[in-house]
Structure 1
């Protein structure tokens, strides 16, 4: 079994749509392998994937590469993935199967309070983030590079509580299909809408916000 480092935190029909979408994504990843899989959700919201068949080890590695995984224990100096659970004046707290605190001094994302940093980089709640385990834990260098790259681009609107398909449909319904490049998947229910060069990210956020019952944050270059 492998536990994916992304959360299912919506209920009702939205939960079923999210799980159906996850099964399709897993099928895309392991469909060419000789393996069967079954998807469940743990009590803490992390999806578990039970694999069986000759290629289960290859499938497990492919899913680890695609999503990151939740592990039962950590080794100092190794990189893991957790979801952004909450933040306070002392830093970020990730859920990586257990709470992992990243002190403000170990974020490495420039000046400002953790709340200001979160908003500047569009870090919606539950977004998966890579960290290096230690005393103290720190945001992984590759994660910092990715987030800084966001601020050098054309602008983004990051959302949670919606699948990639739902986010695309919302952009289309709001009449902004031609104002974006694509919707990038950050997690199962966390997406990043990449703006075209002449699109104003805060304006796009304002326009689609009424259609999307989610947290939305704009990343402005």
Structure 2
């Protein structure tokens, strides 16, 4: 079994659509392998994928690589993925199956408070982030990985973005098109199962796009303005 480091936190019909989307994503990754899989959702909203078949070991590794994995025990110095649970003046708290605090001075994303950094980089709640774990009880602090910092820095250098949570990639694309903004974005990049990043065209103003589509998306929306 692999517990994927992306959350399924919506309810009702949206939950069923999200599960269908996740099945499609998993099938795209491991459907060509000799395996059968079943998806469940844990009490903490992390989905678990049970895999059986001759290629089960390969399939588990593929999913770990694609989504990150939630494991029972974290080891100091190892890299994991957690979802952005909360933030305060002292830093970010990620959910990696257990709370992991990233202190403000270990974010490595430039000046400002954690709240200001979240606004600058358009970080929506539940977005997966990669980190290097250190045990607070031993006086060490966890930090974002260098690759994660580089990815977020690139967001502020390229085209503008509109980041969204609580919606699948297909739902975000359909909403943009329905709202008449099909020409205003290049693509929708999947950050997690329910966290997406709309990459705007050069002529599109992300705050303006947010104002126009916000009423159609019952979600948190954050802009990245280069």
User: Same fold per TM (> 0.5)?
Assistant: yes
Is 1:111 aligned to 2:111, yes or no?
yes
Pair 1:194 & 2:203 matched: no
- Which residue pairs with 2:28 in the alignment? 28
Partner of 2:132: 132
In structure 1, the residue corresponding to 2:196 is in which secondary structure?
strand
Question: Where does 1:25-174 land on structure 2 (aligned, <5 Å)?
Answer: 25-134=25-134, 135-174=140-179
Tell me the CA shift for residue 12 of structure 1. 0.2
Calculate the TM-score normalised by the size of structure 1.
Answer: 0.99
What is the TM-score when the length of structure 2 is the normalising length? 0.97
Q: Mark the runs of 5 or more structure 1 residues left unpaired by the alignment.
A: none
Match of 1:175 in 2: 180
* Cα displacement (A) at 1:13: 0.3
Count of matched residue pairs: 221
In 2, Cα distance between equivalents of 1:14 and 1:178: 26
Q: Distance in 1 between matches of 2:58 and 2:155?
A: 32
Gaps of 5+ in 2: 135-139
RMSD of aligned C-alpha atoms? 0.5
Q: CA deviation at 1:75?
A: 1.4
> Equivalents in 2 of 1:200, 1:192: separation in Å?
14
| Post-superposition CA distance 1:117-136 (Å, at most 9, x none) | 00100100000000000120
Consecutive aligned runs of 4 or more in structure 1 exceeding 2 Å deviation: none
2:137 is aligned to none
Q: CA deviation at 1:55?
A: 0.2
- How far has the Cα of 1:29 moved from its partner? 0.4
